[in-house]
Chains A and B, each alone.
Chain A
């Protein structure tokens, strides 16, 4: 194939447009299913940033078992999503009146990615937070 001047210009323009897109926007586009899961959980209500904490190791030695903790004061439920997994669903915790709205578990991450927590509060509002976990590719660890 031979590139003429117009093709070359178009390619360059496309490249520039791609480069200009913020990384976050690309990520959001890739993970429409993540946003869909959040929207379903929130029933279409707006979801604010914050109000929920996600704890996870900065670097996980193996993606098969990554310890995570979530907590949100006043929450009735917390949804946990793994944005980079083939299926982002991880778990949803529901808290009764006797519970402290916090939980810990161990999850599988298919690679370096964001773990997202969305809290549903008693007043019907929602809050979200994310934490990036780097998952190492083992040498002999596989």
Chain B
């Protein structure tokens, strides 16, 4: 048997195992309402979309997990949002500025912002994720050190800014130079990687709603990041989740903030267009 055939067989085995749990579970019909605001967790897919409907990961979780996100006090990510608020108001860097010096009240200035990211940045000549934009603000305007992608500070700030877009439908600019990046992300989505020779689509398009071992496969939507995961016992970035997926299929993950992950994020934003932002979401 050649190596290639062995790899195929392994991948097929995984798919077959997923199929076995097919009858067990699908997503539920619960509606997510936080502070009286309904957040779209299921939206119709436009014509030509690869999915029959677009469904948030929230719908795939147990009632107990869902409940933690539906109440801002129960949501353990909110301590990070509080921390983000103190960072927003804190002067940092040689310019002697805080976020608030330029942007004022985060609840006003950042309303809906996260729903439009990633977004083309003309100066950088590439799409900016929220992390990129925050660090650009820090280095250029505040003359402060950039934060590391997965640092406590960056997670707190992306959670705080993201929360101001809660309930806003995810919708990014798809025209101009973004088109190429979205296309690149789509290519990556359908490319098989790693020893298990699997693409994102094998789980999140072909088999969502089914069980992978004892876990319930979602569509892999990105509308809740940064997300509090029980597994992490804390907040984590979208690119951390991408890395985790790649490790699961025994692939060498791309770096956080890499062109590949930024392109994938842009494509997934388009793929999940219309879903309400849930940041900071709660997942298992």
A touching B, CB within 8 angstroms: yes
Which residues of A48-87 have CB atoms within 8 Å of chain B's CB atoms? 57, 59-62, 64-65, 67
Q: Is A98 an interface residue (CB 8 A)?
A: no
Q: Is the CB of A62 within 8 A of B212?
A: no
Q: Kindly provide the distance from the CB of A60 to the nearest chain B CB, expressed in whole angstroms.
A: 7
Q: Which residues of A contact B248 (CB under 8 A)?
A: 139-140
- State A141–B216 Cα separation when bound (angstroms): 9
Which residues of A108-142 have CB atoms within 8 Å of chain B's CB atoms? 136-142
Q: Kindly provide the distance from the CB of A77 to the nearest chain B CB, expressed in whole angstroms.
A: 25
Q: Kindly provide the distance from the CB of A54 to the nearest chain B CB, expressed in whole angstroms.
A: 15
- State A141–B284 Cα separation when bound (angstroms): 7
Q: Is the CB of A138 within 8 A of B64?
A: no
Interface Cβ pair total, 8 Å cutoff: 56
Q: Which residues of A contact B233 (CB under 8 A)?
A: 64-65
Q: Is the CB of B64 within 8 A of A64?
A: no
- State A67–B282 Cα separation when bound (angstroms): 14
Q: Kindly provide the distance from the CB of A56 to the nearest chain B CB, expressed in whole angstroms.
A: 9
- State A42–B137 Cα separation when bound (angstroms): 60
A61-B284, A62-B284, A136-B214 known; A141+B231 contact, CB < 8 A: yes
- State A63–B71 Cα separation when bound (angstroms): 21
Main SS at interface, chain A: loop
Q: Is the CB of A57 within 8 A of B231?
A: no
Q: Is the CB of B62 within 8 A of A138?
A: no
Q: Which residues of B contact A140 (CB under 8 A)?
A: 203, 212, 215, 217, 244-245, 248
- State A59–B216 Cα separation when bound (angstroms): 13
Which residues of A23-67 have CB atoms within 8 Å of chain B's CB atoms? 57, 59-62, 64-65, 67
A64-B233, A140-B245 known; A59+B62 contact, CB < 8 A: yes
Q: Is the CB of A142 within 8 A of B231?
A: yes
Q: Is the CB of A61 within 8 A of B212?
A: no
Which residues of B233-248 have CB atoms within 8 Å of chain A's CB atoms? 233, 244-245, 248
Main SS at interface, chain B: mixed
- Identify the closest chain B residue to A142 (Cβ): B231
Q: Kindly provide the distance from the CB of A102 to the nearest chain B CB, expressed in whole angstroms.
A: 17
Q: Is the CB of B64 within 8 A of A139?
A: no
A61-B64, A64-B230, A65-B230 known; A139+B214 contact, CB < 8 A: yes
Q: Is the CB of B62 within 8 A of A61?
A: yes
Q: Is B211 an interface residue (CB 8 A)?
A: yes
- Identify the closest chain A residue to B63 (Cβ): A57
- Identify the closest chain B residue to A137 (Cβ): B214
Q: Which residues of B contact A65 (CB under 8 A)?
A: 68, 76, 230, 233
- State A101–B1 Cα separation when bound (angstroms): 66
Q: Kindly provide the distance from the CB of B90 to the nearest chain A CB, expressed in whole angstroms.
A: 30
Which residues of B69-113 have CB atoms within 8 Å of chain A's CB atoms? 76
Q: Which residues of B contact A138 (CB under 8 A)?
A: 213-215, 231, 284
Q: Is the CB of A61 within 8 A of B213?
A: no
- State A62–B76 Cα separation when bound (angstroms): 15
- State A115–B248 Cα separation when bound (angstroms): 31
- Identify the closest chain A residue to B203 (Cβ): A140
Q: Kindly provide the distance from the CB of A65 to the nearest chain B CB, expressed in whole angstroms.
A: 4
**Interface residues as binary, A2-36 with B (CB distance below 8 Å gives 1, 0 otherwise):** 00000000000000000000000000000000000
Residues of B within 8 A of A (CB): 61-65, 67-68, 76, 203, 211-217, 230-231, 233, 244-245, 248, 284
Interchain residue pairs with CB less than 8 A apart (12): A61-B216, A62-B231, A62-B284, A64-B231, A65-B68, A136-B214, A139-B214, A140-B203, A140-B244, A140-B245, A141-B231, A141-B284
Contacts A57-B62, A61-B61 supplied; 8 other A-B pairs, CB < 8 Å: A67-B67, A67-B68, A136-B214, A137-B214, A138-B284, A140-B245, A140-B248, A141-B284
